[in-house]
């Protein structure tokens, strides 16, 4: 019976572990980005409810938007 004498440079279990680690890091980045986007949308809705729409003038406005909100966009 012949034995295989060739070997791979990187064992397959190492490739699988590296792929899993890369996928996990990518998923964490995706979750972080999605969470930040959701929070931004919620804060924009809160600001619109209190201050009115951007650049809106009128009686219903109860507060003012601050420069920090503008810079985060």
Whether 71 has a pLDDT exceeding 50, the answer reads no
Counting the structural domains of the chain, the total is 1
CA distances from 68 to 13, 19, 33, 64, 73 (A): 49, 40, 20, 12, 9
> Domain for residue 56, yes or no?
yes
| Range of the structural domain that residue 58 is part of | 36-73
Contact 51, 63 (CB under 8 A): yes
> Domain for residue 54, yes or no?
yes
> Domain for residue 21, yes or no?
no
Digit-coded pLDDT (tens) for 1-60 = 566 666 556 678 888 888 888 888 899 999 999 999 999 999 988 888 887 777 777 676
> Domain for residue 18, yes or no?
no
The span from the CA of 47 to the CA of 71, in Å, is 14
> Both tokens of residue 31?
């979750």
> Domain for residue 22, yes or no?
no
> Domain for residue 48, yes or no?
yes
């Amino acid at each position: 019976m012949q034995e295989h004498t060739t070997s791979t440079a990187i064992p397959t279990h190492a490739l699988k572990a590296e792929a899993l680690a890369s996928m996990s890091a990518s998923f964490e980045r995706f979750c972080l980005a999605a969470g930040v986007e959701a929070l931004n949308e919620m804060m924009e809705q809160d600001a619109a409810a209190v201050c009115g729409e951007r650049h809106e003038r009128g009686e219903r406005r109860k507060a003012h938007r601050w420069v920090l909100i503008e810079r985060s966009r």
